[in-house]
Amino acid sequence: MQNSTKKRTMSSAGTLMYLLKGSLLLFIISILASAAFTFFSTLIPQVVSFAINYVIGENEPAESFSWLVSLFGGLNFLKENMWLLAAGIASLAIFAAISAYLRMYINTRATQSFMRRMRNTLFSHVLRLPLSWHAEHRTGDIIQRCTSDADTICNFVSLQLINLFRIVILIIFSLTFMFIMNVKLALIAAVFVPLFIIGGYLFHRYARRHFKKCDEEEGVLSTLAQENFTGVRVVRAFGREKYERDKFEKQNVYYTGLWLKILNKMAVYWTVNNFIAAAQGMLMVVVGAVFCVKGQLSAGEFVAFITYNAMLMGPVRELGRIISNMSKAGVSLGRIAEILNAQEEDYGESKALSGDIELKDVSFSYEEGKPVLKDVSVKVPQGTTLGIIGASGSGKSTLVQLLVKLMPLSGGDILIGGQSFKDISLSTLRENIGLVLQESYVYTRTVGENIAMASNGATQEDIEDAARCACVDDNIKAFANGYDTVVGERGVTLSGGQKQRVAIARTLMRKTPYLIFDDSLSAVDSETDFSIRRNLRERNAGATVIIISHRITTVMHADNIIVLDGGKITESGTHAELLNAGGLYRKIYDVQMSLPDELKEEVQRG
Ligand SMILES: Nc1ncnc2c1ncn2[C@@H]1O[C@H](COP(=O)(O)OP(=O)(O)OP(=O)(O)O)[C@@H](O)[C@H]1O
Ligand SMILES: [Mg+2]
């Protein structure tokens, strides 16, 4: 197996700290700026209260206040220069505004840096995860974790967590001022704080479960749309438009119904919540007014109380939602931690490779107890060609994937130039072995870029040389934009055979000493198949080649041919030897050679 080293086992909190590297300080500054904003904002009602009580009104300030009053030139001076109070309020408002600006500015920078780090970390990590991990996870799920889970975490950290701190600071400051002014009235406000928080938490916890259901159903809806758009040709060809439209409509109605249900519940919740908030406000006014009349509260304090209460209740009603969202962010964080904790492959250092390839009792199974390859032993001397032929499902592609360590061997060993597979790094293998996979994949880029993508510093000449060898140069030049033609979504501007040849050219660009073609000529006609093999012999003379095919004519010139049947080598030898042996190879040969030309072509294509 690959000698992997980068083992990580991070908890959700550990993952968050890991992702916050580089942006944590900015977030802390943002929280501090938020605290400053709240502090300055909560001071304003104090100045207003002071003005009403002592400057406009006739009350005498308490002893403890006198130092502050004398700092501003005494009460009489303030009464004559009321603008000083207005300037005080304006200054506090300006400080609050500057703090708010700083909070937003720094928060935006922190968020961008956090998001960038999260995206980069996830993307490069997922690319380095072994194929077995990819086989266990659906692409849609991986993409969802890297996009919507990442967004959830980012939103939570940049908006909700900062808000959480802001609201907690606001509660502390406001309630402290309120309790200093009047304990009884402050208690009325304080009692409602946990009520709103718990009520909000419970409702939003319920709503979140419902939103999750909505998300899942939206996923079903988009999968339906995506599958139909991707397979639009199949839908058209089978005349299934109405069936698919009805299926979509049914899901759409169900999904819309779910939304209506939750929106209705939200409307009821907010109406009740608004009513309670209004009743609480009214209670404060009435009780506050009674205290004023009884002389237990000054007019200034009354105004300050009402202002604090108004400042407080909105954010407090938000708090329940934020707390309930914490668990949602926690789930997303867990899902991302799962990806980051998956072990990356260790690529190791790349070295040159040469010598024979020798498979010794190689066995492999995808699932325990169901071997796909059984004791496969074969030697491919350096510079020779091995042909592999076998029925569909006999294990040919599995074998080549083992050769580039896309999957670990279950048993046996592979030696290259006498070196055991265990001692050959992933980089060494993949730099030295050029593999054309059975399913050719082209990116939505230009044809030229598609060919050059596996090699660094390729010139146009190199690209054209590889394309000529793969017999696709003429096709590409016939396109209006030649090598600059952008290959459409899923390669629609290229035919199946052209795609295969672009994939071959891509592999040939790297001039590797070992070449493996996994049924890579199945979609090209026999004549082109022949030309490509002839070009290869000339261009890559000396390379060790493994060619897999269903077509006898493709492998018949190989130095050695093996027949795979049910994961075992049942026959091996040269073309002539295998024909004489009269086994499966002979049978395939007879079938493929005895058919009329058109039918032969059809069968040979697989
Ligand atoms: N990812 C996988 N998980 C489980 N089983 C798999 C997987 N890939 C292939 N198999 C099974 O392993 C066996 C060999 O598959 P493989 O792709 O190697 O066959 P093949 O000889 O290349 O066939 P073909 O000629 O059709 O390309 C098949 O029975 C297949 O069902
Ligand atoms: Mg295959």
**For residues 62 and 49, what is the distance between their CA atoms, to the nearest angstrom?**
13
Looking at all shown ligands, the one closest to residue 368's CA atom is: 1
42 with 83, same domain: the answer is yes
Q: Are residues 268 and 390 in the same domain?
A: no
Residue 602 has pLDDT above 70, yes or no: no
Q: What is the DSSP letter of 446?
A: B
Assess whether 276 and 240 both reside in one domain.
Answer: yes
Residues with a CB atom less than 6 Å from ligand 1? 135, 366, 372, 390, 392-398, 438, 519
6 belongs to a structural domain = no
Q: What is the pLDDT of residue 159?
A: 87
What is the distance between the alpha carbons of residues 183 and 175, in angstroms, rounded to a whole number? 10
Q: Is the pLDDT of residue 374 over 60?
A: yes
Return the DSSP state at 343: P
Ligand nearest to the CA of 391: 1
Q: How close is the Cα of 373 to the center of ligand 2, in Å?
A: 13
Is 496 inside a domain boundary?
yes
Question: So what's the pLDDT on residue 606?
Answer: 40
Please state the rounded mean pLDDT for residues 392-421. 91
Q: Is residue 304 included in any domain, yes or no?
A: yes
**Average pLDDT taken over every residue of the chain:** 88
Contact (CB, 8 A) for 125 and 4: no
Confirm whether 567 is domain-assigned: yes
On whether both 111 and 41 belong to a single domain, the answer is: yes
Q: What is the pLDDT of residue 597?
A: 60
Domain total for the chain?
2
Residues 472 and 572 in one domain: yes
CA of 31 to the centre of ligand 1 (A): 55
The pair of structure tokens assigned to 561 is: 């041919």
Calculate what percentage of the chain has a pLDDT beyond 70. Answer: 95
Task: Say if residue 534 is in the same domain as residue 598.
Answer: yes
Between the CA of 402 and the centroid of ligand 1 the distance, in Å, is 12
Per mean pLDDT, which range of 159-168, 267-276, 283-292 is the poorest?
159-168
* Range in 111-125, 322-336, 534-548 the model is least confident about: 322-336
Instruction: Give the residue numbers spanning the domain of 488.
Output: 367-604
Render 520-531 in DSSP notation, one character per residue: TTTTS-HHHHHH
**What is the pLDDT averaged over residues 159-184?**
90
Residue 347 lies in a domain: no
Q: Which atom of ligand 1 is nearest to the CA of 390?
A: 21
| pLDDT reading at 7 higher than 70 | no
pLDDT tens profile 486-523: 887 555 578 888 999 999 999 999 889 999 999 988 88
Asked whether residue 154 falls in the same domain as residue 215, the answer is yes
Look at residue 490 in the predicted model and tell me its pLDDT.
54
Going by alpha carbons, the residue nearest to atom 2 of ligand 1 is: 366
Whether the CB-CB separation of 564 and 395 falls below 8 Å is answered with: yes
Q: pLDDT tens digits, residue range 431-477?
A: 999 999 988 888 888 999 999 988 888 899 999 999 999 999 998 99
Mean pLDDT of 144-158: 88
Q: Token digits for 570?
A: 């049942």
pLDDT interval class at 3 (50, 70, 90): very low
Q: Which ligand 1 atom sits closest to the C-alpha of 366?
A: 4
Q: Please report whether residue 4 resides in a domain.
A: no
Looking at the fold, whether 483 and 542 belong to one and the same domain comes out as yes
Domain-located, residue 288: yes
Residue 444 CA, ligand 2 centroid: distance in Å:
25
Judge whether 2 lies within some domain: no
Across 91-117, average pLDDT: 94
Q: What is the mean pLDDT of residues 11-38?
A: 91
Rounded distance from Cα 394 to ligand 2 centre (Å): 8
Listed residue (422, 421, 385) closest to 542, CA to CA: 385
Question: What CATH number did the domain enclosing 215 receive?
Answer: 1.20.1560.10
Q: What is the CATH number of the domain that holds 467?
A: 3.40.50.300
Which atom in ligand 1 lies closest to the alpha carbon of residue 135?
Answer: 1
Concatenated DSSP letters of 233-289: HHHHHTT-HHHHHHHHHHHHHHHHHHHHHHHHHHHHHHHHHHHHHHHHHHHHHHHHH
Q: Are residues 557 and 517 located together in one domain of the fold?
A: yes
Query: 484 with 437, same domain?
Result: yes
Query: 454: closest CA among 511, 405, 498?
Result: 511
Which atom of ligand 1 lies at the shortest distance from residue 606's CA?
Answer: 25
Residue 88's Cα: distance from chain center in Å?
50
Protein residue closest via CA to atom 3 of ligand 1: 366
296 and 405 in a single domain? The answer is no
Pick from 297, 323, 341: which residue ends a domain? Answer: 341
Q: Among 341, 358, 377, where does a domain finish?
A: 341
Q: Which ligand is nearest the CA of 366, by number?
A: 1
Write the secondary structure of 46-68 as one string of H (helix), E (strand) and C (coil): HHHHHHHHHHHCCCCCCHHHHHH
Q: Where among 324, 341, 358 does a domain terminate?
A: 341
- Judged against a pLDDT cut of 80, whether residue 410 lies above it is answered with yes
Q: What percent of the chain shows pLDDT beyond 90?
A: 48
pLDDT (tens digit, 9 = 90+) per residue, 181-229?
Answer: 899 999 988 999 999 999 988 998 888 888 888 888 888 888 888 888 8
Ligand 1 pocket: which of 363, 366, 565 to mutate (most atoms within 8 A of CB): 366
Q: How far is the CA of 534 from the centre of ligand 2 (A)?
A: 23
CA angle 409, 432, 128 (to 5 degrees): 60
Residue 264: predicted pLDDT? 94
- Pocket probe mutation, ligand 1, options 362, 364, 394, max atoms within 8 Å of Cβ: 394
Residue 114: predicted pLDDT: 94
- On whether both 317 and 432 belong to a single domain, the answer is no
| CA atoms of 497 and 488, how far apart (whole Å) | 16
State residue 77's pLDDT score. Answer: 80
Q: How sure is the predictor about 69, in pLDDT bands with cuts at 50, 70 and 90?
A: confident
d(CA 436, CA 523): 13
For the record, the structure tokens of 187 come out as 């208690």
DSSP-assigned beta bridge partners for residue 562: 388, 572
